[in-house]
Amino acid sequence: MKITNIKCILTAPANIGLAVVKIETDQPGLYGVGCATFTQRLTTVKAAIEDYLKPLLVGRDPSRIEEIWQLSYQNSYWRNSPVLNNAISGIDQALWDIKGKVAGLPVYELFGGKSREAAAVYRHADGRDPQEVADNVLKLAEQGYQYIRCQLGGYGGIAKQQGAGTKAVGSYNNVGVYGGIKNQTRSPYGAQPGEYYDPDIYCRTVPEMFEHVRKVVGFDLQLLHDVHERIAPMDAIRLAKALEPYRLFFFEDPLAPEDQEWFKVLRQHAAVPIAMGELFTHPLEWRPLIVNQLIDYIRVHISDIGGITPALKLARLCEAFNVRTAFHGPGDVSPIGHAANVHIDVHVHNFGVQEFSGFNEVLEEVFPGCPQVREGYIYPNEGPGLGIDIDETKAAKYPIHNDMAQFSGGAVNWTQSRRPDGTVARP
């Protein structure tokens, strides 16, 4: 059996750009699909796949997954970039899909079978004020979800500045007058356009939000929160301590990958479970946190670390140190990527929870075989391989374009984040 063709399909059925790899073989009708979605750099990933990995891999045996992963990883000499990792991920997932189809088994059976029938998922409850957050938590609970992430006004309470040359507003303008904070301007004249937020107001309003939500919904639901690395390390420590009474399931991405040394301080001062890793692309980012038991959940985006093959190895490392998985699962993961997550989730013993953004009807039409959620659990498709496909004809009806939510003439908007004085900040 030989690889005969590799292509990268770009599509946006939910107005979010997705990259899907399709590997074709010399066996009639046998091919595999994988997710290579790096939404902010889609066309760069496509070039890495078709201009570099395709010439390297066509003619090779697709059953040699480990060898192909290692070869693809080192062939560029410089390695561990998110572009390269996502390109390799699409290849890797497609190869696992092929292997499962050849065996006539779901991919999770190739890992060693199930540890559970389905994976618990968490959904997002956002709101402009604490009551709206609580209302959205209750709506999700009525649908059977037991794990719910709570965010007040988005990450850091984002408020858009309308343009340069005007005053920019603080984050509280987005969440309304709350906690005695009045709307007021806080940025200098001439501040540049961007997504503005106020770390100080964010750190004060989040505990108040959880105080209200817990009074409304009680303590039976598992609540989560995502800092998104937006605040200074000391502010993250103070916020973590303030959230202790509300028994969070986990406190997500409190520190940036560059702030490794602060995790020890955070661990010593706050009894809050820590989830980390959404931006990780290199083993040296996660290994110290795991082996020193400084985190409780690993939050990697599996295509950003290279696909199923490294994700399984990471999960094994985590198991040895009592760290559980909580893989990234936003809208900028294709349904194929979600399917790959679920196959790992139902297999690994140290699974924690799975983030899930949901599928609309168009996504389910373009990607037949999407995994399904029932009463807060997501179930793998029991078909051979990953159990999911892409309809290329339907995918072509939803091309990527520059006026999608994350683009403006090719530039990404939501990562142009700024603090009140206009300083560029982490998204």
Cα 365 from Cα 370, distance rounded (Å):
9
For residue 49, give the nearest of 90, 105, 14, 82 by alpha carbon: 90
Distance, CA of 91 to CA of 24 (rounded, Å): 11
Q: What pairing do the DSSP bridges indicate for beta strands 147-152 and 159-160?
A: unpaired
**∠ Cα 387 299 383 (to 5°):** 5
Task: Indicate if 189 belongs to the active site.
Answer: no
User: How far is residue 290 from each of residues 33, 133, 267, 294, 317, measured CA to CA in Å?
Assistant: 31, 32, 13, 6, 8
Q: Annotated catalytic residue: which of 196, 202, 228, 343?
A: 228
Angle between helices 199-217 and 130-142 (to 10 degrees): 50
Using DSSP's 3-state secondary structure scheme, residue 387 falls into: coil
Number of H helices and E strands in the chain, helices first, is 15, 19
The angle, 0 to 180 degrees and rounded to 10, between the axes of the packed helices 199-217 and 233-243 is 20
Which has the closest alpha carbon to 389: 369, 374, 404?
Answer: 369
> Kind and range of the H or E element at 224?
strand 222-226
Beta strand 324-325 pairing with 297-298: parallel
Catalytic site residue 228? yes
**Side chain identity at 282, as an amino acid letter?**
H
Phi and psi at 238, nearest 5°, equal -65, -40
Please give the angle made by the CA atoms of 225, 205 and 163, to the nearest 5 degrees: 95
**Residue in 31, 122, 145, 155 annotated catalytic:** 155
| Structure tokens, 145 | 């979800």
Burial pattern 196-216, b for ≥16 Cβ within 10 A else e, equals: bbbbebbbbbbbebbebbbee
Tokens of residue 146, six digits: 């037991």
Q: Would you name the residues annotated as active-site residues?
A: 155, 228
